[in-house]
Amino acid sequence: MIASEETPLIITEEDPAQREDDALYNRFSRRRKRTILALVSWSGLLPFFVTGSFVPTIPQIAKEFNSTGSVIALSVSFAVLTLALGNLFWARYSSFYGRRPIFLYSLPILCLASLGAAFARSVPELIVWRVLQAFGASAGMSVGAGVIGDIYKLEERGTAMGVFFAACCLGPALAPLCGGLAAHYASWRAMQYALFVSTIIAFLFIYPFIPETIYPGAKGIEKYLRDKGTGEEQWRWVSLNPLSSLTFLRSPNVAAVTLACAFTLLTDYVLLTPISYTIGKHYNITNEALIGACFLPAGLGNIVGSPLAGAISDRIVIKYRELRNGEHVPEDRLRAAIPGILVFAPLSVLVSGIVTEYVPGTLGIVINLGCLFVNGVGIDMVFSPCSAYFIDLAHTKGAEVMAASMTVRAAILAGGTACFFPLIDSIGVAWTNAIFALTAWVGFGLLWCTIQYGGRMRAWVDVAPADNRDE
């Protein structure tokens, strides 16, 4: 039986549960853990390049295929939808077969699909390859987070998750710029070739250096074979329902924190998605490269905020555990997200809207860039602790909880994104941004309720698997 993280953590040196827990997390050396963390971060970065690097190339692709931007943009919509559903698929199977096989099967799909996209000669062909590309890339985030939960113990997990998200968030910062530069100086196909090569390199490193990280005896295939009466693990295909991961949303804790993250992320999207029609239009910035460069402050903020919040969340866990004489309460970690969701994310989007409408010239541009940076910090100050919280709650099923949360966020973001342009046209940038600042504060209310009443909420629906707690 795997030792529970719900049990008191001040125990005697001879406690067998503590020895078992230490053995699980000491399977890999610190250096090996850092190597694994670096490689899963690389894998987690790829989905952002698959989606983000494509957007600046849409006009060039439309011209080459004698189509329209709106038609080519369908491939972006299909890719985002596939990323959400693919997350559910890979996360479900990672709990059953283990993490390593997921990387070894998903990366070749991404590799071949990137090559197929580079050679596409029609719009339908491009869309098919883009869907496969997104499916192959979709394992990176949820399964990568699951790996971190497998190898890092409770008081180290937030820091590791922060590093993971900081690396992944290089994607939103750099992908549009890289895609635009590739299209401008070579061709939109050059970026697809680059994804093909980078995926091959990732596979060549992951194959020898990422072992199976899920706990011995915790894989679904092992339990399946034990139930069948054989003690030996034999590979066999078992059909699983990927949508079953969505049942974790029955937990009010998971649902509330998921909504809090989604409402916070809307502040990021309302700043960046219509940036050509807000900051670009109001300050007469028409150069695509300069528009792409406006994404950099947000990405830099992500890189700063994620490891900072992760490390703070670990310190908070340790501090409150000591105050409670060794009792661990998972919701303590969420306290690290309060500055991001209460102050940084909503105020940055609110100030940006007001400044864009009423402050002209260089001063307005500088303040807006500052708001983009602060928003980037705030977003990841929310995401890192909340993601680590999901792993704390479900542990060996953490990848599935992450995937369920990401799917709901994708649906909310899709709906929110559809509202941005009509709202800006009808009520202006300032009021549109104010609406989504208010939405973030609603998310804070959900997060605060989870912090205050998390224990009672967990009692309603327990998402921890049986092998993740003492009985």
* pLDDT (tens digit per residue) in 235-273: 677 788 888 889 899 999 999 999 999 999 999 888 887
**What's the whole-model pTM score?**
0.80
Q: Which CATH superfamily is domain 248-458 in?
A: MFS general substrate transporter like domains (1.20.1250.20)
For the chain, 471 residues long, the average pLDDT of each consecutive 10-residue run is 41 49 80 94 90 79 83 76 88 91 96 95 92 92 89 88 83 79 86 94 95 84 71 70 89 94 91 78 76 80 86 91 88 94 96 91 90 92 91 83 87 78 88 95 97 90 56 33
* pLDDT (tens digit per residue) in 54-90: 877 877 888 899 987 767 777 777 887 888 889 899 9
SS (H, E, C) the chain: CCCCCCCCCCCCCCCHHHHHHHHHHCCCCHHHHHHHHHHHHHHHHHHHHHHHCCHHHHHHHHHHCCCCHHHHCHHHHHHHHHHHHHHHHHHHHHHHHCHHHHHHHHHHHHHHHHHHHHCCCCHHHHHHHHHHHHHHHCHHHHHHHHHHHHHCCHHHHHHHHHHHHHHHCHHHHHHHHHHHHHHHHCCHHHHHHHHHHHHHHHHHHHHHHCCCCCCCCCCHHHHHHHHCCCCCCCCCCCCCCHHHHHHHHHCHHHHHHHHHHHHHHHHHHHHHCCCCCCHHHHCCCCCHHHHHHCHHHHHHHHHHHHHHHHHHHHHHHHHHHHHCCCCCCHHHHHHHHHHHHHHHHHHHHHHHHHHHHHCCHHHHHHHHHHHHHHHHHHHHHHHHHHHHHHHHHHHHHHHHHHHHHHHHHHHHHHHHHHHHHHHHHHHHHHHHHHHHHHHHHHHHHHHHHHHHHHHHHHHHCCCCCHHHCCC
**All structural domains of the chain with their residue ranges:** 28-240, 248-458
> Is residue 215 exposed (0-12), middle (13-18) or buried (19+ Cβ within 10 Å)?
middle
Q: Which CATH superfamily is domain 28-240 in?
A: MFS general substrate transporter like domains (1.20.1250.20)
Task: Say yes or no: do domains 28-240 and 248-458 share a fold.
Answer: yes
Q: Evaluate whether 352 touches 368 at the Cβ level (below 8 Å).
A: yes
Whole-angstrom distance, CA of residue 227 vs CA of residue 341: 45
